[in-house]
């Protein structure tokens, strides 16, 4: 083998190593963390009302051309349940003087709350637990704009909607100290730009 041939062979080997040998066999912790945070914050409740306090990479395995990572995350609530109620009530306030459809929807929710017993449970919470928590600024401002009966109607509706949608995650005992633990299974694909998380 001539020196020129040897030089070309060595160049080919180095090029092959640079293309294949330097590719991470698994997603790095940084890639996993970034995609985990993106996934968690894609859920409205977590994005708006919780913050990520810690996370841990638990396991990982090859799945055909993909790589799967399981990761645990700890979330901390940003506010108490009454804070969620206040934000929801402000959002629904236009329904009080809105279209026939909106006012009918509010009346229907109120009826459902009565029939399911949610209203009675909410009133017990409101008269006991909520009274121990300072009213959020948004709720104070709402009280100055609407009547007592209209505010009660909005709060009952919001309580029903919040628990109907998120009842498997939160309840009326939510406080700023509430912490949640969640496990996520994340899927990654190897691309020309490295490992990238794949939304299902």
Residues 90 and 160 in one domain: yes
Residues 85 and 155 in one domain: yes
Residues 97 and 40 in one domain: no
Residues 86 and 152 in one domain: yes
Q: What is the 3-state secondary structure (H, E, C) of 118-145?
A: HHHHHHHHHHCCHHHCCCCHHHHHHHHH
SS3 66: strand
Domain that holds residue 117: 81-166
Q: What is the pLDDT along the chain (200 residues), one digit of tens a residue?
A: 554 444 445 445 444 444 444 568 999 999 999 999 999 999 999 999 999 999 999 999 999 989 999 999 999 999 999 999 999 999 999 999 989 999 899 999 999 999 999 999 999 999 998 988 889 999 999 999 999 999 999 999 999 999 999 999 999 999 999 999 999 999 999 999 999 999 87
pLDDT at 15: 46
We report the CATH number of the domain holding residue 72 as: 3.10.450.50
Residues 57 and 98 in one domain: no
pLDDT at 24: 83
Residues 86 and 149 in one domain: yes
Burial class of 132 by CB neighbour count within 10 A (0 to 12, 13 to 18, 19+):
exposed
pLDDT at 16: 46
pLDDT at 8: 47
Task: Tally the domains of the chain.
Answer: 2
């Amino acid at each position: 083998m001539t020196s020129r041939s040897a030089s070309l062979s060595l160049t080919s080997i180095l090029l092959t190593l640079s293309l294949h040998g330097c590719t991470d066999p698994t997603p790095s912790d940084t890639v996993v963390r970034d995609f985990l945070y993106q996934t968690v914050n894609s859920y409205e409740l977590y994005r708006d009302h919780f913050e990520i306090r810690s996370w841990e990479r638990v396991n990982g395995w090859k799945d055909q051309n993909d790589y799967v990572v399981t990761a645990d995350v700890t979330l901390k609530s940003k506010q108490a349940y009454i804070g969620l109620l206040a934000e929801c009530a402000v959002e629904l306030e236009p329904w009080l003087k809105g279209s026939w459809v909106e006012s009918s929807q509010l009346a229907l929710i109120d009826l459902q709350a009565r029939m399911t017993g949610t209203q009675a449970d909410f009133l017990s919470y409101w008269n006991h637990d909520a009274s121990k928590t300072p009213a959020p600024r948004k709720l104070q401002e709402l009280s100055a704009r609407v009547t007592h009966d209209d505010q009660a109607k909005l709060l009952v509706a919001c309580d029903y909607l919040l628990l109907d949608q998120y009842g498997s995650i939160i309840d009326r005992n939510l406080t700023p100290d509430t912490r949640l633990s969640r496990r996520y299974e994340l899927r990654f694909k190897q691309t020309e730009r490295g490992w990238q998380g794949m939304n299902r």
